[in-house]
Amino acid sequence: MFALEGQDDLLLIVRRVEALGKFLDTDDGKNLLAGTKRAANILRIEEKKDNKSYTGAPEPKLYQQDEERALAEAIGKAKAEAAAAVAKEDFAAAMTAMARLRPHVDAFFDKVTVNADDKAVRENRLKLLNEIREATRTVADFSKIEG
């Protein structure tokens, strides 16, 4: 006798991979992957240099630029929408939720200097980068994707 649970899990994995593949074929997918990898690379470098992790929620009162506030708001919405979609096994909708992050991630990297002179602002911005990484992990671990 074979347990159907294993087959169900495999089917879900295949469906998730297929949805992720379709998403990564889009411009939004490619650019969000690049932005997520950039965030992860900056975090890895700074965490190693500082010998600490930048986890936990960023402090909204430390946001100095509109792009920080917009990104934080977009991450909150994307995480909630993606988690709800994954719970319903609607992986395409989860990818769509992640795609909405792309313009905010792009704007953040275009306009915001992560390594600000103010130590508290710098740490807060690094926590915001961690939020990008955590949000995308709702759907997939982008750090393990080649490209």
**Segment 56-65, tens digit of pLDDT:** 999 999 999 9
The predicted model scores a pTM of 0.83
- Domain parsing of the chain, residue ranges: 4-144
List phi, psi (to 5°) of 4: -75, -20
CATH 1.20.120 for the 4-144 domain, yes or no? no
**Segment 14-62, tens digit of pLDDT:** 877 888 788 888 888 888 888 888 999 999 999 999 999 999 999 999 9
Share of the chain above pLDDT 70, in %: 88
CA atoms within 13 A on the CB side of 114: 20
Q: E strands along the chain, which residues?
A: none
31-65 residues labelled b (16+ CB within 10 A) or e (exposed): bbbbbbbebbebbeebeeeeeeebeeebeeebbee
**pLDDT value at residue 6:** 44
Across 5-19, 30-44, 65-79, 114-128, least confident range:
5-19
Tokens standing for residue 145: 């994707």
